[in-house]
Amino acid sequence: MKSYQINNIKIGEGSPKVIIPLMGGSEEELMKEVYAVKELSPDIVEWRADVFGPVDDMEAVQRMTEKINTALMDIPLLFTFRSHKEGGNKEISSDYYSKLIAGVIKTRYIDLVDIELFFNEEDLDYLVGLANKNNVFVVMSNHDFEKTPAKEEIISRLKLMQKYGAHIPKIAVMPKNTEDVLTLLEATTIMREKYTDRPIITMAMGKLGVVSRLTGEIFGSAATFGAGKSSSAPGQIDTIDLRTVLEVLHKNL
């Protein structure tokens, strides 16, 4: 299984890496949040740009990316625009989504970029190629806020992300019962053991899914999301509590 060295962290080895989201709507809110999040010693910081008020202004996004990058110093930065259909905060056209992702990649102020799987194939190929050219790691993602797909479907989507060239395939699902959580965990284990040569990120959302955010080292998820000043998805828990559990599990495995 390969791992990736991204600045000062290695994802794909040891305890799952802790990703903390930035959810500020303005430049002032974001910069305050950056410094607060840094105090929590994240492995990776995710900027959820769909929450950013001026996200329609490419130059404003690029300037903000530079400011966040400078403030984070050597902490890796993941850029994410979560589409409205996958639980994001703002609707934009497919054309602008592609231009936005490309424009941020070209700044080289990010270390990782989230690209959603269910986008058109031509643009996926272009964006993945552009990320590779600019030494940006691709986290290809899919989010189902309604249900937990069958085990075979979860695996199929993760395999498809690999086919498109994702460095790190990621899927998040919504469980309706504990059986759904087990489905996600089993799919993660099968994917790791049989079908992948790279880190993957999986999680079940909501209160039922909390266990999936804690046990990645056992089942095969290479990173987990902790709440900083605010959370970006249902079921994220306090980062300090999260790290405590991850350390206990890692020590006893």
Contacts of 190 (CB under 8 A, 6+ apart): 151, 155
Residue found under tokens 């095969």: 220
Q: Is 157 annotated as a binding residue?
A: no
Q: CA gyration radius for the chain? A: 17
Say if residue 236 carries a ligand binding annotation.
yes
46 assigned binding-site residue: yes
62 is in an annotated binding site: no
**Beta bridge partner(s), residue 104:** none
Angle at 80 between CA 4 and CA 96, to 5 degrees: 125
Nearest to 96 by CA among 149, 58, 64, 69: 58
Catalytic residue status for 90: no
d(CA 19, CA 27): 21
Please pick, among 38, 170, 176, 194, the residue that the annotation labels catalytic: 170
Write down the catalytic residue from 17, 32, 90, 143. 143
Binding site listing for 3-dehydroquinate: 46-48, 82, 213, 232, 236
Binding site listing: 46-48, 82, 213, 232, 236
Residues marked active site are found at 143, 170
